[in-house]
Chains A and B, each alone.
Chain A
């Protein structure tokens, strides 16, 4: 059974009296353990699709199931709880909280759990060690490079051991070297830690790291292909 099932998902935004279609009857399945690359030109609906998967936006029509949960029918309150347990989100601009240290940023999602302080500390250190920043715990975001910030953001996304990792152009704001490190890290999370990942990207090199690539154009799924994983 697929981990993610999208059936005829349509999303339309309303600007004043004008309806703007963004996604048009998209159906998609993603198997557990997959690393799916979501490509397409600007405005094709990639990020909207990712937001729908993350449960931070709702489809106009259609259904979205992640694991056993029909997320499109959850209330706002239930959806927030579901996100905390099942979703790890990586933003293009990292979006770390500037007044928190790397440790505290990674700890943030764990504040919503019942873990003890020591357990939270162990989880945070494990996540930071995985991304190779175990020695940067007390650094604030402004004291880190872009690549390091994104790796902290990845640690924050994986610290709760979520069902699904969603990355919205995670290398879009990075130099080539940092981007390669981040992509390698995501690939490692997929292969070594069996994390299911959906990654939106413009970059064909980034997409090469995915085990599957889906193309979106004008809100419609136009092509699906399987790429060889580059190690």
Chain B
């Protein structure tokens, strides 16, 4: 039984208190790692965006659509090499809780512009040839146990698509090779949705492939100028800006989630610090006895600080471990197709554990200093 043994023995002095302290740190690290994972998910989508794709939406909002006449106009803009478009479908699969992204797309051009959607050639062909065909991400297929040739029915979620259910045949399961496309989405033919739409020929957004990434700003401006002072003015951005503006619809997520994380960590720091201080106060006599036996002040400091560090890191490992295990896109498929699947990365888990170590060190610093500076005679007299 050397000093580590003493720390372990001491930590078991009040099992309930130790357990609650460990739990509070575990919850803090769990929240921290989870919030970081969400932010990373958003940021990864923006970072993985193509530099040759620009996105055009209605200047008023993403939720308003534009007429199909825009297609020819945009295609005519110099610098635009290719074009595709998509609509948000918003259907319901059995239950509104089974939320996932469903996009009505111009399939051929969309697959051309998004090489990240990886499909075997025969599957691709089967999808393109079937008007009611759809492709789904492998993550989404796993989630609902779907297979190729399965027929699925979506209830209409947005009134513009009428009231009748849509039936699709799964023609392929795609794999995403880049963070710009997630594996939790479903793509089907825009024409199929447009046939039933109450507003024919309306498109949600356009994706243009440009010849030169350096001219993205000029091309974007040129597109928007074409539609200036029309009923359907546009706003064109690079894909990265589009992703960022989509994220900004949720507000300043970095600030919001960062503030929550900071508040949780600070609260835990005070809780752990107070617990350590209480623990030291209760052990005043024991510390005085150990000093009488010849334990150096710095050894007492290490024992108390080590106990705080041990409890905190244990909580950190538990919190990071639980976050690692359960914060996964398969369990929280909230991305809706705009954000790639996110989960707690090894980096965030390690940062979480390091954070717990920092909490442990800071929380133990004052009580450990107090304990090491205790005057033996005064401490013994307090009880005697």
Contacts and interface: CB of A to CB of B under 8 A. Distances in A.
A92 B289 CA distance: 12
Q: How large is the interface on B (under 10, 10 to 19, 20 to 34, 35 or more residues)?
A: 20 to 34
B293 interface: yes
Interface in A100-122: 100, 104, 107-109, 111-112
A80 interface: yes
B294 A112 contact: yes
Contact of B6 (A77, A84, A111): A111
B1 interface: yes
Nearest to B283: A97
Contacts of B377: 51, 56-57
B3 interface: yes
A80 B294 CA distance: 4
Contact of B10 (A76, A77, A81, A99): A99
A81 B6 contact: no
B268 interface: no
A65 interface: no
Contacts of A98: 13
Contact of B376 (A56, A85, A107): A56
A77 B296 CA distance: 6
Nearest to A103: B1
Given A51-B377, A92-B384, A107-B1, A80 B295 contact: yes
A57 B293 CA distance: 14
Contacts of A84: 293-295
Q: How large is the interface on A (under 10, 10 to 19, 20 to 34, 35 or more residues)?
A: 20 to 34
B292 interface: yes
A89 B384 contact: no
B175 interface: no
Interface string A64-97: 0000000000001100111111010101110101
Q: Determine chain A's interface SS by DSSP, over half rule.
A: helix
Given A77-B296, A81-B296, A95 B291 contact: no
Contact of A99 (B13, B290, B291, B376): B13
Contacts of B10: 99
Interface string A192-225: 0000000000000000000000000000000000
Interface string B1-42: 111001001101100000000000000000000000000000
Given A95-B285, A99-B10, A99-B13, A83 B292 contact: yes
B296 A80 contact: yes
A158 interface: no
Q: Which of B1, B293, B296 has the most CB of A within 10 A?
A: B293
A36 interface: no
Given A56-B377, A93-B384, A99-B9, A108 B290 contact: yes
B296 A89 contact: no
B142 interface: no
A89 B292 contact: yes
Nearest to B8: A99
A98 B294 CA distance: 19
A164 interface: no
Contacts of A156: 293
Interface string B281-302: 0000110011111111100000
Nearest to A56: B376
A225 B298 CA distance: 43
Contacts of A107: 1
Nearest to A57: B377
A109 B293 contact: yes
A9 to B, nearest CB: 15
B276 to A, nearest CB: 16
A141 to B, nearest CB: 11
Contacts of B289: 91, 95, 97
Nearest to A153: B289
B49 to A, nearest CB: 57
19 contacts: A47-B384, A51-B376, A56-B377, A77-B296, A77-B297, A80-B291, A81-B294, A81-B296, A83-B292, A85-B294, A91-B289, A97-B286, A99-B12, A100-B9, A104-B9, A108-B293, A109-B293, A111-B3, A111-B6
Given A80-B291, A81-B296, A98-B13, 12 more contacts: A54-B292, A56-B292, A77-B296, A77-B297, A84-B294, A89-B292, A95-B285, A95-B289, A104-B1, A104-B9, A109-B294, A112-B293
Q: Which 6 A-B pairs have the closest CB atoms?
A: A84-B294, A56-B376, A83-B294, A95-B289, A57-B377, A109-B293
